[in-house]
Every structure is written in structure tokens, then in C-alpha cells.
Amino acid sequence: MVTDFFYPQPGGVEFHVYHLSQKLIDLGHSVIIITHDYGNRSGIRNLTNGLKVYYVPFFTFYRSSTFPTVFSAFPVLRTIFIREQIDIVHGHGSLSSLGHEAILHGRTMGMKTVFTDHSLFGFADIGSILGNKVLKFALSDVGHIICVSHTCKENTVLRGSLNPLNVSVIPNAVISKDFTPRETKLPIDDNITIVVISRLFPNKGADLLTAIIPRICAAVPKVKFLIAGDGPKFLDLEQMREKHFLQERVELMGGVKHEEVRNIMIKGHIYLHPSLTEAFGTVIVEAVSCGLFVVTTKVGGIPEVLPNHMMSFAEPDEDSLVSVTLNTINKFQNGLINTSTFHKEVASMYSWEDIALRTENVYNSLDLNKLNQPLFKRFQKYYCCGLIAGKLFVLIVVVDIFISIFLDYWYPKEDIDLVTKWPKNPKSKKRLRSLK
Amino acid sequence: MNQIGLRKRSNWKKLLYQNQPFPDNYVDESFLSQLKRNETVRPYKYWELVNDFSLILFHLTNLTLVILIFVSIYRFDWDSTYIVTSSSTISLIGYVLWELRLNSTNSKVLKIKSFTLVIFMFLLLSPVLKSLTRSTSSDSIWSISVILSIFNLMFHDYAINVHTPFYKPILSTNLSLSNALVLASRLNSTWQVFCFILFAIQSNTLLPLFDFSLRRYSPKLHYLLFTCLTLVVEYLMVHLTNLNAFLLWSSIQIFILLILPGYFLFLQRYKNELSGPWDIAKPIIRS
């Protein structure tokens, strides 16, 4: 597993990588994670079950992704790959240049590669155009690609000009025992509490949130809001609260740790999700697992995630969101919504064991004979990426091969010590296999 | 998981929470059905494009005028006082027209005050400006001037939509002023420096603003102004340069006005704009 995004930073990719790794270890695989350093957290750390994490010191430049240097990580990655006797390189996140680099060098070293895409990108703005070109380059020669939702798959196939058969859809999951509903049911009277947990960025719909809260508060006199999360739009929310004298009814908690999310969620009846783009939306699944009803905007992959009796959809429009929310509050007060079965239903829908088995399936489907085609074929794949870009990409690959030869000469494989593997736990493997 | 491909099965659903009897890499017929292409594209008309491209030519003509005036002073020793007096007279007439007909919101005193201030500042600074690039060779100055002009042409706010509330071509104003200062530093006397900079400001800074208001008020008058400007530049071209330069200038005019719009129209067929459910939704906020 190689990604720029990992613990101590919270987020969807981070948890996906961690939980998937844990379950793969349970399946009897040896998993290591390579990421860049976070503050003073650099070097090698061992997490639960002998999950080894390499925090490699790289320069980070934008939202904790490393500077795209193309070649600079090759020596250290090669050493780690050989030391740990790696067979499969699995990169995560399309903004993670470390992940892309690992896939490129892994291919140069003749290894199996998999890439997981966690996010959606448009085609219009300059950032996306550059990002898509990089993605096209990184994925030209990858073994298999995993996307977290069907919408994400369509998006990735278009962005990287890929064969859709080479792309699998494997969603995120939640640990359902971490997101249990409260033991005693919240009394449903006039006091309905609406929970929002989101980083307050414009693309998470913070502006919509700021616009609808005063309207909902005015329409239903006893509704309360509980908002957790921090971000550039926090100030706007505070100003809104002061302007409309809602200090008593809108609680702003600021940033919270992921462990606390459950305890915040169970204080509410409804989870409001005003995001403008979302590949999967793990937080919705977490909320439903905690026994909340979800009101969400109908964007990205959200409609695929949960059945209709667990959430209601609004357009990303202030009026629509207000009316749907009010409608839901009304239903709640009339006792038309029963959330008591949600937790069990979600537990049967999403589990990391299932995800790990499906990912293992992808790993098993990779065939080195098919992947390691003659060099000329590999060049052809890159050359077709674009008029100028294609030539540039071929040049990069050629340089990469030269670096590989150089490294093989100066730091021969035989001189690199192999690590002792963490002892396997035979019980867990059996248990998971029986699930299959 | 490899054996099943695009086989037709009707009961597949685009859902994640159901365990469906399909492999993870299954591709349904509905794949990419929500993809929309070229949604926001509207067809262009050739003459509308010619009209838009004429704005580029207008700006280029304007830049050329300043350079030609520089040539006339620098090389042919034309009387700079005469030039600046006539241009100032035209500017004054234009200003009066502007105040009477085109614009009546801002305070007049402030404008006149700031303009006077700028004039006196340049009058004060012109000895400094004259000796600014003494140690630089003329060739470097010409190339800097060309680069500045090209950048100016690239980054000028052409304001194709006349009804934008704020029209402030800040970058191109700065670039044209830099160009004027760089060129002026080659002139021989302080007075020439001052006159040339004053002319450049009138032509490159005030004229675009005036023309913007004029276009809003009456497009016909804009074309009249455009024709006058072109005639002045043609006249200067004939008098100051040789036949080759004149022919080059004429072909540039035809190229920008008639050929470039056609090329733009031709490129439209390669337009491939993709949009779908993955795009960031545009929130509609009413308050």
C-alpha cells in the first residue's frame, strides 16, 4: 500500500487504507504501508497486528501530497520493495504523487500494480486537466484499478482513457461495531436535532449549509443543529449564527477526532449532508449505522450508497434542501420514520471483511505473464497518451529504466537485507475464509 | 472475474449496498449513460466572431499607434509639442462627450484632480526617466518593448461582454505604461519624454476606457472611432515606414479580422466537453 494520505491525518482514504490492510493481514497476507512523514512522525512504525508503516521523509507541498518529482523516490521505494519482498504495489488516491511514483517504479521493476481511486474530478478547470494527464500517465501500465463507486468508475475511465473491464468497483465500508446506535432511543418530540459532520470547505457545501440553517430554524421553532468540523467556512457559520441569534440552537464544535464521531452522531435524529461532490460518502453510512436518518444532496456516487428508506434526496439548491429537510422533520414528528433496524441493515451491507476478500480477488486476477509484456508494448501504451505528452512519458519511462539498471548495479539486490516477517495469526485467517 | 464481460443482463442495478451476482469489474449497458457532451456549447456565427476579433485588432492598432508616434519623435524628430497638443485636444473633447453623454456617476473633481496629479508627477520624473536606461543598449529596449506589447495583447481585458459592471484592464494598463516608460527613456530631451508619456497614457489607457463606454452607448460610434484610429495608423505607416512594413501591417489586419475567426470556427468541431454526475454541483443560494 502506497499513499500520501495516512494516519495521523483523518479522512476517507486514510481509513480505507488502514482497515483494508488490517483485513488483508487477517487473510494471511503481509502488508506494509508507505507514506510521507507527518511532522516528527517519521521512520518505521508498527501498528496493530504487525502492520508496518514507513513514514519516508518527503517534501509535501499541497494538502499533504508530496512534491511530484517523478524519480526521486525510486531508490528508497526499491529498497523497501526488496527488503519486504513485495509482490503487489497498491497505490491510493489520484492526488497522491507518491502512489503514482510507486506504481511507475513498481512496473519498471516488473511487479504487479493496483490503483484505487477515491475521488471525482471534472474536466473543465486547469487543475483537473493537469491532474488527469498525470493520472493517464500513471495508469497507462497499471495492472488493475479499483474505484469506490460506479460514478467514480465512470469518471476514472473517462479521465484515464481506460478499458472499463480493467476497473472494478469495490466500495468503502464501516466498522459497524464502532458505529452503534444509542441504547435508549432519543425521545421524539418537538426537539429534533440535526447533525452535520463535515470539513467546512466550499465543495462540501458549507455555503448551502450557512444559507439553510436560518430558514429551517425559522420554520421549525424547536429544531437544533449540531455541527462538527473545521475549515475555511467556519467563520461564515459563526457569523450566520450571530446574525440570526441562533447561539442557543446551533452548536459549532470545531474539529473532532474520528473516534468521537459516533458519540456526536447519536445525539441527533437527522444527519444532514449538503456536499456538492462525493465519490462515496462514508460519513453517510456511518450516520445511518448510528441510527440516524440522512438528508443529502443528490450528487456524485451518493445515490448508490444506501437504499431510499434510509435517506431522502434534495437537489443542491437552497429551496430544495430546505423543503426536503422540513418534510423529514415533519415525518419524524409524526412517527413515520423508524430507524431502529438501520444498524443491522448497514452491518449486512458493508463490512471490511467483504471488501478485503474482493480486493484479494483483484490481486489474484493479476497475471504477471500478461502484465510483463515486451518493452516495446509498454512504450506503445505510453506513447498513445498524447501528441507531446506521449513522447514525454516514453522519455520518463526510459530514464526510469536506466535508473533501475544503475541501482541494480550500485546497490545489488543481494546486498539488501530481508526483513523477518511478523508471525501470522492462523485463527483469523480461518474465520475469514469460512465467511467466504 | 475475467470471464464475464459486456454480456447483457437486465437485473444489474447501479447500487453499492446490494450484493449483486456480478463480478466487480462488470460493465453494464447503462455504463456512461449519464455522460453529457458539449452541454454548454453554443454555435458561433462568423460575423459575430469577426466583431469580437475586431476588438483585438483595435487594441493592436492602439498599441501600434504609440510605437509609431515614438518612431516619429525618435527617428524623424517630429515636434512632440504639436503631437501632444493635438492629442490632448482630442482627449478633452472626448472627456466632455463622455461626461455629457456616456457617464454621469462619478465625481468630476476627483477625476480631474487625479489626472493633474499624474501629469505633474510625470513632468517631475521625466529627467529621471530619460536617464533610466542609459546603460542599456537600444536593441535590448526594442526587444523589451516588443515583449511587453505581446504580453499586453495577450492579457488585455477585451470586455467582449459590454455589460460587465466593472471594466478595469489593470494588467494591460500597467504593461502599456511600462512600455511607454521604456521607450521614452531613449528620447533626447526631457520635454520629449514627458510629451511621449502623456500621449501614451492618453492613447493606451484612456482610449480603451472611452471606447468601452462608447461601445455600450452606441456600437456605430465605436466603429467610427475604430475607422479613424485605423486611418491615423495607416497614415503614419505610409509616412514613417517603408512599403514592406505597410504590406505586413495590412496582412496582419486581414489575418486578425477575417482569417482568425474562421480558424476559431473550424476548431469548434474538436470541442469535446464532458460533464456528468461527478462534476461539482453548482449550489443555488438565494439569500
- Encode pLDDT of A290-321 as tens digits: 989 999 999 888 988 999 888 899 998 999 99
Does residue A436 register a pLDDT over 60?
no
Q: Is B188 on the interface with A (CB under 8 A)?
A: no
Q: State pLDDT tens for residues A155-179.
A: 999 888 888 899 999 998 888 888 9
| pLDDT above 70 as % of chain A | 96
**A240 pLDDT higher than 80:** yes
Nearest to A154 among B16, B31, B287 (CB): B31
Measured between beta carbons, which residues in chain A are less than 8 angstroms from residue B275?
122-123
Q: Does any domain span residue B22? A: no
CATH class label, A177-349: alpha beta
CB of B110 within 8 Å of a chain A CB? The answer is: no
**Rounded Cα–Cα distance for residues A105 and A248 (Å):** 56
Would you call the peptide bond into B169 cis, given omega within 30 degrees of 0 as the criterion? no
Task: Give domain status of residue B144, yes or no.
Answer: yes
Averaged pLDDT for residues A64-75: 82
How many CA atoms are closer than 13 Å to the CA of B66, on its beta-carbon side? 33
**Chain B residues inside the 8 Å CB shell of A170:** 24
* A32-36 β-sheet, strand order: A32-36, A51-56, A43-47
Q: Does A168 touch chain B (CB under 8 A)?
A: yes
Phi, psi (deg, nearest 5) at residue A33: -120, 135
Amino acid identity of residue A93, one-letter, is G
Q: Is the ipTM of this complex over 0.90?
A: no
Q: Give A4→chain B minimum CA distance, Å.
A: 23
pLDDT, position B4? 44
For the beta carbon of residue A140, count every other beta carbon within 10 angstroms: 23
Instruction: Please give the pLDDT value at position B87.
Output: 93
Give the span between the Cα atoms of A96 and A94, in whole angstroms: 5
Query: Which residue range forms the structural domain that includes residue B101?
Result: 50-260
Q: Strand ranges (DSSP E) for B30-147?
A: 36-37
How many domains, chain B?
1
Domain boundaries, chain A: 12-173+352-421, 177-349
Question: Do the chains contact at A276 and B283, CB–CB below 8 Å?
Answer: yes
* Cβ-contact A54, A44 below 8 angstroms: yes
Q: Which of A145, A143, A140, A138 is nearest to A101 (CA)?
A: A138
Quick one: fold of A12-173+352-421? Rossmann fold (3.40.50)
**A38 bridge partner residues:** A41
B40 occurs within a structural domain: no
Among B27, B277, B287, the residue with its CB nearest the CB of A164 is: B27
- The x, y and z cell numbers of residue B157, run together, are 481585458
On the question of pLDDT at A118 being above 80, the answer is yes
| Residue ranges for chain B with pLDDT beneath 50 | 1-8
Cβ(A3)–Cβ(A96) below 8 Å: yes
Beta strands B274-275 and B36-37, pairing class:
antiparallel
Q: Residue B148 falls within a domain, yes or no?
A: yes
Q: Quick check: A170 contacting B, CB < 8 Å?
A: yes
Task: Write out chain B residues lying below 8 Å of A123, CB-based.
Answer: 273-275
- How far apart (Å, rounded) are the C-alpha atoms in residues B253 and B222? 18
For residue B210, tell me if it sits in a domain: yes
Cα A63 to Cα A65: distance, rounded to the nearest angstrom: 6
Q: What is the pLDDT averaged over residues A99-117?
A: 91
> Which positions ≥6 away from A378 have C-beta within 8 Å?
A107, A141, A397
- B 242-261 near A (Cβ less than 8 A): none
Interface check for A352 against chain B (CB to CB < 8 A): the answer is no
Q: Does A282 touch chain B (CB under 8 A)?
A: no
Q: Is omega for the bond preceding A8 within 30 degrees of 0, making it cis? A: yes
Q: Classify residue B87: in a domain, yes or no.
A: yes
Of the ranges A118-122, A373-377, B12-16, B57-61, which is most confident? Answer: B57-61
The residue-averaged pLDDT of A210-224 equals 91
